[in-house]
Amino acid sequence: MLAEIAAANAAFKIIQTAVQNGKEIYDCGTATQSYFDNKSAIAKRVSEKGQGDLEAFMALEKIKESEEILKETMIYAGRANMYSDFLSFQSKARKERERQERLRIKKRADTIALFMTALLWGTGILVLLPLALYIGFKLFGLI
């Protein structure tokens, strides 16, 4: 949890400094992506544990405050429509994280299905092979 907070704060400082120096959001894309990923991880933890996890809740509140500062910086020190581009980028990043999560869940389900299929086939062979051998030996009179 502390790692996510520290990473989000560091990414925020990079983004804010870049915007104040006249750079575009895409100039600090790695920091922006890191910021969104860590914000998402903190928000997910707050939603999972509710507001009982005070540390995560307060971290999320600090991130919201940071975003307000960043919004003001983008509006007053950035180019026209920079904040709307920032929101668009944030939306795309969220959709990409959700897509990655769906792919991870699907891959895990496919792996479990493959394992269960192999287990069932293996069990079937172990059960039917002795039966087939017994019937075969009985038919040919070897038993």
pLDDT in tens, 75-133: 777 677 878 888 888 888 889 889 999 999 999 999 999 999 999 999 999 999 988 88
Residue 80 DSSP symbol:
T
19-39 mean pLDDT: 79
Q: At how many degrees (to 10) do helices 82-139 and 29-49 cross?
A: 70
The token pair that represents 17 in the structure block:
């400094």
CA dihedral 38, 42, 43, 48 (to 10 degrees): 140
The whole-model pTM stands at 0.61
Phi-psi region of 24 (alpha: psi -120 to 50; beta: other; left: phi over 0): beta
pLDDT at 33: 80
Residue 70 has pLDDT above 90, yes or no: no
Residue 57's pLDDT band (boundaries 50, 70, 90)? confident
**Which of 76-84's residues contact partners 24+ apart within 8 Å by CB, and which partners?**
77/19, 77/20, 77/22, 78/19, 79/24, 82/19, 82/24, 82/25
CA-to-CA separations, 16 to 20, 41, 68, 125, 133, in angstroms, rounded: 6, 21, 11, 64, 75
Which range in 45-49, 71-75, 113-117, 139-143 is most confidently predicted, on average pLDDT? 113-117
pLDDT beyond 80 at 52: no
